[in-house]
Amino acid sequence: MLDQEQGYVTADGRQIGGTVMDMRNITLRFGGVTAIKDISFDIREGEIRAIIGPNGAGKSSMLNVISGFYVPQEGDVYFRGQKRAPMRPYEVARQGIARTFQNIALFEGMSVLDNVMTGRLTQMKAGILSQALWRGKAEKEEVENREICEKVIDFLEIQHIRKTPVARLPYGLKKRVELARALASEPKLLLLDEPMAGMNVEEKEDMSRFILDVNDEFGTTIALIEHDMGVVMDLSDRVVVMDYGRKIGDGTPDEVRNNQEVIDAYLGVSHD
Amino acid sequence: MFYREAGDFKTSYQDDNQTFPIKFDRYRYYFVLFVAFAIIPFMINDYWVNAVFLPFLIYSIAAIGLNILTGYCGQVSLGTGGFMAVGAYAVYKLMTIFPEVSVLIHIVLAGVITACVGVLFGLPSLRIKGFYLAVATLAAQFFLVWLFNRVPWFYNYSASGQISAPERTFLGEPITGPATEAWAAYLVCLVFVTLSAIVARNLTRGSLGRKWMAIRDMDIAAEIIGVNPLGAKLSAFAVSSFFVGLSGALFFAVYLGAVEVGEVFGINKSFLVLFMIIIGGLGSIFGSFAGAAFLVLLPVFLKNVLVGGLGWPTDLAAHLEFMIVGGLIIVFLIAEPHGLAQLWRVTKEKLRLWPFPH
């Protein structure tokens, strides 16, 4: 059905491109516990790919494998057609993969602007001497990257708090700042770990709009974990369903919704 | 009233990135510089320089150095005294081996040498954090003092085991050795302090500073957004040790003139500088100055009041001085755990709106 190089057209008419991220037969163990069992799936250029499943299914572990935080015992990760050697998370970040965290992981002691600017660190290359004197490359780079960050800040509508220390912000805004920090790096692949956890309906609507806008305007490929089924079904183009570390479903929201194994996993099944 | 942002519009990011974005702040900074460079040198005598200005200026550099490591990068260090000793012995060896080179260059080189030593002792920070790292740096403190005591090459085989600074001149004016004029020593230290503060400020507001602060606030998240923890931590150790080495070199060459390592650069010194940045404010350049001023000026002030003003016996005053300083430190930390810098920040916030409450 899906061609490796050619993409497909979504229900709302967007053209999805070739494979960006290809996970092949990933197995991840922690001692005797197998968190992920032989899972394969791909993420395609420009799509919104959801990973869902009950608690403890291994979704966050999967995201951690993609972002280089865990190295799987078996299986290979292909990013943009290249097999990825085991690497440190900061090297993965330099390849253009950004993420947000389930529990907000902002730098509390810094202002919103500084937090967003940390998203540009992989692009800032000025030497220590230039920085010490605040002349030449360092100053130029600071302004150029500031412009990119300001665009992101505009986009996510957090201009009014740009100089506020992050520690003072409410939860919903912190989530947005974290998204801003990830976006500031202009990622090729954006990983969102429960971007709407703990939000009320309005905040969820806002966040959904931002995710769709990011995908639409920047063409960013997005992989997200989310528990709110309504949101997942509305946002995503394709869904991977995990349960107990195995993949039990993969396809468009409609296909997944009608998959008997998925229904069993979520609603339980009688053993008689 | 006059401390206002209103009407002070920024039209470029360069303007917004300034160290002192508010006009009034900027003018005050220029004013302080003007007084420090153009007025104080003509007014001071030996007492003021040796009791107040030199220790304040030199400790400020050390506090800036430690603040970069502990306040900005979150790595606790108890090795400051040892690193100051490295700066002092490095400048001593350089001065005696290359007497024809300017001592100012030697002082900077001493900072560079200390930076290298700092990186070496910073290597454990890649594996250990918090209190355990503090203990590891404590090892550096004791090892370095031991080294300078036991290896005669470092003190040029002198009989006393001390090092003493030979006379060196700059533009014909002696700036080290016993013949140094008070104002010359003051100006040398002032120049180094000013440059150190500017460099430290530039480093901490740029990308390197953000890397350090990211590591301090949440090291795992920092790594995931692309900060190499190895590079960030070691660069913090290097920059921090550079400043600490500078201060050690000045402390020996310009201020004391003769040094016995265990006495001058012992563990007490490490704690003193650590207290300075805690009282002054972690993660703030201004806090480094405030903390140094607090711990240098307060004893002098108390001594003058108690002995000079009230006519108490010196020994009684000395003991009371300890008690008062200790008590004040505790009061301060309870009242404002984020230090004098935070107090200053809050005052400025209030001043911006004054006389209106909102």
Q: What is the value of ipTM here, to two decimals? A: 0.89
- Token representation of residue A110: 């810094």
Whether B355 is covered by a domain: the verdict is no
Contact criterion met (CB < 8 Å) for A105 and B229:
no
The β-bridge relationship of strands A221-225 and B163-164 is unpaired
Architecture of A1-96+221-272 per CATH?
A: 3-Layer(aba) Sandwich (3.40)
Interface contact flag, A109 B218, Cβ < 8 Å = no
What three-state secondary structure class fits B223? helix
Q: What integer best gives the mean pLDDT of chain B? A: 89
Q: How far is B72 from chain A (nearest CA, A)?
A: 10
> In angstroms, rounded to a whole number, what is the distance separating the alpha carbons of residues A210 and A176?
9
Instruction: Report the pLDDT averaged over residues B282-299.
Output: 92
Q: What is the pLDDT along chain A (272 residues), one digit of tens a residue?
A: 444 567 788 877 788 888 899 999 999 999 889 999 999 999 999 999 999 988 888 999 999 999 989 999 999 999 988 898 888 999 999 999 999 998 889 999 999 999 999 999 988 888 888 888 888 888 899 999 999 999 999 999 999 998 899 999 999 899 999 999 999 999 999 999 999 988 889 999 999 999 999 999 988 999 999 988 888 888 999 999 999 999 998 999 999 888 888 888 887 777 66
| Token pair recorded at residue A114 | 């500084």
Q: Is residue B111 part of a domain?
A: yes
Sequence spans of domains, chain A: 1-96+221-272, 100-186
What residues contact residue A67 under an 8 Å CB cut-off, 6+ apart?
A89, A92, A93, A97, A99, A191, B224
Q: What is the largest CA-CA distance in chain A?
A: 76
Establish if B124 belongs to a structural domain. yes
**Is residue B326 situated within a structural domain?**
no
Helix (H) or strand (E) holding B185: helix B182-205
Domain assignment of residue B273, yes or no: no
Q: Are A36 and A62 in contact (CB under 8 A)?
A: yes
Q: What tokens appear for B275 in the block? A: 């207290």
Report the alpha-carbon distance of residue A240 to residue A37 in Å, rounded: 14
Residue B66: name the closest of B53, B81, B87 by CA: B81
Q: Which residues of B touch A132 (CB under 8 A)?
A: 199, 202-203
pLDDT of residue B28: 87
B338 part of a folded domain: no
A121:B227 CB<8 A: yes
The pLDDT, as a whole number, for residue A2 is 46
The listed range with the strongest mean pLDDT (A103-107, B98-102, B113-117) is B113-117
* pTM listed for this prediction: 0.90
Q: Which residues of A touch B225 (CB under 8 A)?
A: 90, 93, 98, 118-119, 121-122, 181-182, 185
pLDDT at B311 over 90: no
Bridge-based pairing of strands A33-44 and A19-30 is antiparallel
Q: Report the alpha-carbon distance of residue A220 to residue A197 in Å, rounded.
A: 22
Domain A100-186 fold is Rossmann fold (3.40.50)
Q: Return the structure tokens found at A125.
A: 């290359």
d(CA A29, CA B105): 57
Domain that holds residue B94: 44-266
CA–CA gap between residue B230 and residue B211 (Å, rounded): 11
pLDDT in tens, B160-204: 888 998 888 888 888 888 888 889 999 999 999 999 999 999 999
A108·B217 Cβ contact <8 A = yes
The total of structural domains in chain B comes to: 1
- Pairing between β-strand A189-193 and β-strand A221-225 as defined by DSSP bridges: parallel
Q: Which residues of chain B neighbour A107 with C-beta distances below 8 Å?
A: 213-214, 216-218, 221-222
User: CA-CA distance, B261 to B250, in Å (whole number)?
Assistant: 14
Kindly identify which residue of chain B lies nearest to residue A124, measuring between CA atoms.
B207
pLDDT tens for B37-75 read: 988 888 888 888 888 999 999 999 999 999 999 999 999
What pLDDT does A1 receive? 40
- For residue B220, the distance in angstroms to the closest alpha carbon of chain A comes to 9
pLDDT category of residue B6 using cuts at 50, 70 and 90: low
Report which of B276, B68, B41, B318 is spatially closest to residue B181, judged by C-alpha positions.
Answer: B41
pLDDT of residue B42: 87
